[in-house]
Each structure stands twice: as structure tokens, then as C-alpha cells.
Homo-oligomer: A and B are copies of this chain.
Amino acid sequence: MTDTTTDTAGTVDVRGRIPEQGDGCEAADILAAVRTHVDPELRRAIDTLPGSLRGVALYHFGWEHADGTPARGNAGKAIRPALVLTAVRALGGDPAPAVRAAAAVELVHNFTLLHDDVMDRDTTRRHRPTAWTVFGDADAILAGDAMQALAQRLLAEDPHPGAPAAAARLATCVMELCAGQHADCALERRSPDEVTLDECLAMAEAKTGALLGCACALGAVYAGAGPEEVEALDGFGREAGLAFQLIDDVIGIWGDPGRTGKPAGADLAVRKKSLPVVAALASGTPAAAELAELYGGRPGGTEADPGDAARVARAVESAGGRDWAQVHAADRMSRAMGQLARAVPDPAAADGLLTLAEFVTRRTY
């Protein structure tokens, strides 16, 4: 399925609107085009939820205020649906019949966000109060449960021949996401010197890489690709996901508060075991010992102390945590490129996926 000239019949209705690969389009164009296709499918699906939980879902997606009045919407960047549809196209398939699967992936992503926010007691998501703070824990849990069911129903009702395999793959991915969130909670409870870098990388792969990989793999399934190409695209998404997480962790420490929307060093203030920190702690340098003392010293408060955060950030940097994260992110991206080339040898066909991978991993900070 690497010949992009095959299987393009019947794509007229979408091809004119989802930007082609190799036409030099920006990631923002792809994402905007994907939104115009996936959002209506998503809203149609959410409209079938029972009334009592629909409002929680609409609030979470930013389409309604807490009082049920319409909101302008900030449902996230739609990276995962974009990966599904761009992967279909990269493998020479027609993205139109995969829009439902793309919506299912986005529902799964958002169901896990709803539940993670409950567990982590996070109070802000996409610049708004999290659903559990507005509707209570029970309704946030129930809306998440219903959204997982909705995702699976979209695939169960999808007549596409790839739908059952996609449903099984998405379900397996949910289990991995759950294991990743479990590992995250468990790691946070342990003291910094009890946590290994391998554990943190495995957690990040399960929590972030798995769904990006699944999104790409579902695109391959909908393109009718063979098992090797499906696995290679899964690998591409996973590796790019890891690179994304590494860069995200760097931004969490050294990012510009004006861009991140979080106070400088917020991750450090709560003593988060992010990848640069754990790498720094494992470095065996004198700065690592200083960092261990700072990080193990006191449990982080909710208020960031700029002086403390700056000290910790300097120690992480001196111990090589920032460099390690950037080098490791580049390494993951190069592995991602290798997997992509396995599945899609034609660079023009691979361009859309490449653009998205670069978008998520080369954010400025």
C-alpha cells in the first residue's frame, strides 16, 4: 500500500479539502482541515449520549459552558484524529471512511483526560476548570465511561472491513493507557531515588505513545495496509509520542509561562518526576546529589516558589537533564522516521505524517 496512486477512487469529497501531502502545507492547515471533518462526527456522536451526561461531555470538549449555553469551543488540537486521517492518506487510502474511527480515537483520548483529571485532582484543563470541579467526581467518571462506550459503538456500527480490527486495537490501547496512568500515580508516590529512568520511559510510552501509535495504526488499518505496515505506523506514532513527551517535559521546566499558560517551574514546584529530572538524578554528577537533596527535601506545595524552582531547574540542567532530554527526543524522532520509512518509503506520501510529528515535537518554548 505504499503506492500512493492506488485506492484513490471515491475520495473526491474529502481530497479537495484535506490538504494533500507533499504540497508544502503546514501542520496547522492539516489540523484545521481535520477539525472540519471530525468535529461534526464527534458532535453527532456526543448528541446521542444520555442527556444527563451529554452536558459534561460538551463542557469537557469546550462546546458548552457549565450552564449549558454554547461556548466557542477549545477541544484541543485534534492531533490524534489528524494522525488517523493523515496515515490513511499516506498509505494511499481514502480518509473519508475513516472519519468515524478518527472521532473514536478522539473520544478515547478525552475519556482518559476526564478520568485522569479526577484521579490527579487537576483543576485546570485547556484553560478552564476541569469537569470534576464543575460537575463532581461521579459525573466526570460516568461521562468518561459513556464516552469510552460511545467510541466503541462508533466502530461497532462502522461497516468498513477494518472496523473490527480497529475496535480491538483501540480497546487494547485503552488498557495500555490505564496501565500508564496507574504507573504514573505509582511513580508519583515513590521518592525520587526509588524511580528509574526506564520505568519513567515505559510509563510515558504507555501514557502518551500508545494512543499516538494506535491512531497511526488505525489509519493504516483503514487504508487496508498489511500487518507489517500497521505495526511500523504504530511504532512511528509511539516514538514520536515519546519525543513529544520529552519536549513537553522540557517545556514544563524551561518553558515561557506566557506560552505554556502555567507558572514557570510549575512541574518542579510539585516535584513532578518528569523525564529530564529523573535523567538528571540518574546522572551520577555532583549536581545530581544536590538535586536529590532539593527534590527529596520537601514535598512540593501547590504554590510555585520562583526561587526554589529556579534553583531546581539549574540543578537539573547542570546534571545534564535538559541536554539528555533533547538528545533523547531527537533520537526518538529519528527512530520514528525509520518506522515511517518502513511503512511509507515515498517521502512525498510520508510528508503529512512527518509534518504532524514535527509539529508536536518542535513546539517553540
B156 and A175: CB pair below 8 A?
no
Residues of chain B within 8 A (CB-CB) of A52 are: 179, 182-183, 186
A176 and B50: CB pair below 8 A?
yes
Asked whether any CB of chain B lies closer than 8 Å to the CB of A84, the reply is no
Identical subunits present:
2
Asked whether any CB of chain B lies closer than 8 Å to the CB of A217, the reply is no
Residues of chain B within 8 A (CB-CB) of A179 are: 50-53, 142, 146
Residues of chain B within 8 A (CB-CB) of A145 are: 111-112, 115, 144-145, 148, 174, 178
Looking at chain A's contact residues, is the secondary structure mostly helix, strand, loop, or mixed? Answer: helix
A156 and B146: CB pair below 8 A?
no
Bound CA–CA A15/B226 (angstroms): 39
Q: Mark A138-163, 1 if CB is under 8 A from B, else 0.
A: 11011111101110110111000001
Bound CA–CA A146/B171 (angstroms): 8
Chain B nearest CB, measured from A103 CB (Å): 14
A152 and B152: CB pair below 8 A?
yes
Asked whether any CB of chain B lies closer than 8 Å to the CB of A33, the reply is no
B175 and A150: CB pair below 8 A?
yes
For A174, give the chain B residue with the smallest CB separation.
B149
A156 and B164: CB pair below 8 A?
yes
Bound CA–CA A143/B175 (angstroms): 9
A174 and B146: CB pair below 8 A?
yes
Asked whether any CB of chain B lies closer than 8 Å to the CB of A38, the reply is no
B172 and A53: CB pair below 8 A?
no
Residues of chain B within 8 A (CB-CB) of A25 are: none
- Known interface pairs A51-B179, A153-B168; 12 further A-B residue pairs with C-beta atoms within 8 A, sorted by A's residue number: A52-B182, A52-B183, A52-B186, A119-B138, A119-B141, A138-B181, A138-B182, A145-B145, A146-B174, A152-B171, A156-B156, A157-B164
